[in-house]
Amino acid sequence: MPKLPAPPLPKSLQPRPKRPGENGNGAVRPVEAAQEAGITVVDWIDERTSLSGGIRWLLFRKVPKGINWFYTLGSATMFAFLNQAVTGVFLAMFYRPDAAGGAYESVRYITDDAFLGQLVRAMHKWGASVMIILIFLHMARVFFFGAYKYPRELTWIIGVVLLILTLAMGFTGYLLPFDQRSYWATIVGVNINGTGPFIGPYLSDFLRAGPEFGATTLSRFYAIHMMLIPGLIAALIGAHLYLITKLGISAPPWIKAQEDPGLRESQV
Ligand code: HEM
């Protein structure tokens, strides 16, 4: 005789459907639960921070037609700065700002003995020149394309401060190997600073950490070089990028001329 199907269990006795990430004992494992629900780590972070909106605002924006490779010089300068920051951290792991021979010896150790030390030091040293060349090229692009004009004056002013700070990085970094060349070059540089009007003498005293060039001068230069100025540069690059994103990139002058029939012939 065929077996009759069992009558359905009452609702309270029916097995509950498995929740995402639930194992055999009824315990829910959060990582598996998220995987089953298709939630990635990025989604998890974004739900708590809403950072993706800001990143999309910064990266996914319209740019004017006709822009070219010259518009990449600002980003190239930024990457040169990042290179300086990363290599600088590794150099700081070995460098000692000790004027009684320790600084010179630590730089010798980095160059001759530390693993990949010569490479990292060279990247930092050559990277400094690369950054200065790039910043001038970027500034020239902005100048010749007239990109400093309304409404981008503040972007330009922040740029000028960035230029001064970048040059100051070169100046303060030059002393750190503490060899004959860096010592005498810095004395000359500090003396030149001292001839500046009004703030010149105060600036020299600040740089020397007193009226005489002494052991604390090296510590002063090191602190300025690896903390004060990089912090300022990072903050100002943030402000520079904020303004660039908010105002949009300026169109090249020849496109502006085509699109604005109101321009006089001389302006075109
Ligand atoms: C650490 C140094 C600097 C960094 C990292 C930097 C970065 C950038 C970036 C990524 C852009 C976007 C467009 C482009 O690349 O051309 C830009 C635009 C701009 N920068 Fe810089 N910059 C620096 C220094 C300077 C300097 C020295 C000036 C001028 C004195 C300047 C003035 C401007 C202006 C006015 C714009 C807007 C250009 C436009 O809308 O077409 N920047 N900068």
Ligand 1, closest atom to CA 165? 1
Mutate which of 138, 229, 233, 243 for ligand 1 pocket (most atoms within 8 A of beta carbon) = 138
> What is the model's pLDDT at position 116?
98
Residue 77, ligand 1, Cβ within 6 A = yes
pLDDT score, position 266:
59
Look up tokens 């903050």; give the residue: 235
Output the pLDDT for position 192: 97
Say if ligand 1 is within 6 A of residue 84 CB. Answer: no
Whether 142 lines ligand 1, by a CB cut-off of 6 Å, is yes
Listed as ranges, residues in the chain with pLDDT below 50 are: none
Give residue 92's pLDDT.
98
Q: How far is the CA of 245 from the centre of ligand 1 (A)?
A: 11
What's the confidence (pLDDT) of residue 4? 85
pLDDT at residue 21 in the model: 77
> Model-level pTM greater than 0.85?
yes
DSSP-assigned states of every residue in the chain = -PPPPPPPPPGGGSPPPPPTTB-TTSPBPHHHHHHHTT--HHHHHHHHH-HHHHHHHHHS----TT--GGGGHHHHHHHHHHHHHHHHHHHHTT----TTTHHHHHHHHHHHTSTTHHHHHHHHHHHHHHHHHHHHHHHHHHHHTTTTSTT-HHHHHHHHHHHHHHHHHHHHHHHTT-SHHHHHHHHHHHHHHHTSSTTHHHHHHHHHTSSS--HHHHHHHHHIIIIIHHHHHHHHHHHHHHHHHHH-PPPPHHHHHHH-TTS-TTT-
Task: Return the pLDDT at 8.
Answer: 83
From atom 40 of ligand 1, which residue's Cα is the shortest distance away? 249
22 phi, psi to nearest 5 deg: -80, 135
Sorted by where each starts, the structural domains of the chain and their CATH numbers stand as 71-245 (1.20.810.10)
Q: How many whole angstroms separate alpha carbon 145 and alpha carbon 188?
A: 37
Q: What is the pLDDT of residue 250?
A: 96
CA 163 to ligand 1: nearest atom:
27
- Can you tell me the distance from the alpha carbon of 225 to that of 220, in angstroms, rounded to the nearest whole number? 8
